[in-house]
Amino acid sequence: MDALTLQTAASGAPVTAVAGTFALFALFLSLTAHIAARNVLGDVEVKKAFAVGPVPAAIAVVFTTFGWNSFLALLLAVVLDFVLVRYLYGQATRLSAYIVLIHFVVTIILGTIVFGLLVLLSSAPV
């Protein structure tokens, strides 16, 4: 079964399911982008992170929906994340690459924790 079939079966409306998935993932990636930028640069504007988050989320949703290569999606998301961080925060190449690395690590760590908590809560007895 592909992702679109599973989402349709779960919610009944594939457009709503894909839009909801995109919105939640974009919000999550915006949060982790802000954490990464704040960790490296100090006090930064939150609105810049809200411009960074939706791009990798859109790439992930499109590549997953059409079943395209996930490694290519990851590479494209990291490259575009770097371009956006460099442009929005106006930092040097090395510092922008460091922010993107921290963003990647924070996303993996926080995603693992949130997913683990969701699995734990869903398996709890009623």
Residue whose token pair is 């699995």: 119
Q: State the pLDDT at residue 58.
A: 94
User: How do the domains of the chain map onto residue ranges?
Assistant: 3-122
Phi and psi, residue 96, nearest 5°: -65, -40
**Chain mean pLDDT for the chain:** 88
Q: Under a CB-based contact definition with an 8 Å cutoff, are residues 44 and 102 in contact?
A: no
Read off the pLDDT band of 3 (50, 70, 90): low
Average pLDDT over residues 93-113: 95
Whole-structure pTM value:
0.82
Read off the pLDDT band of 36 (50, 70, 90): very high
Q: Under a CB-based contact definition with an 8 Å cutoff, are residues 110 and 102 in contact?
A: no
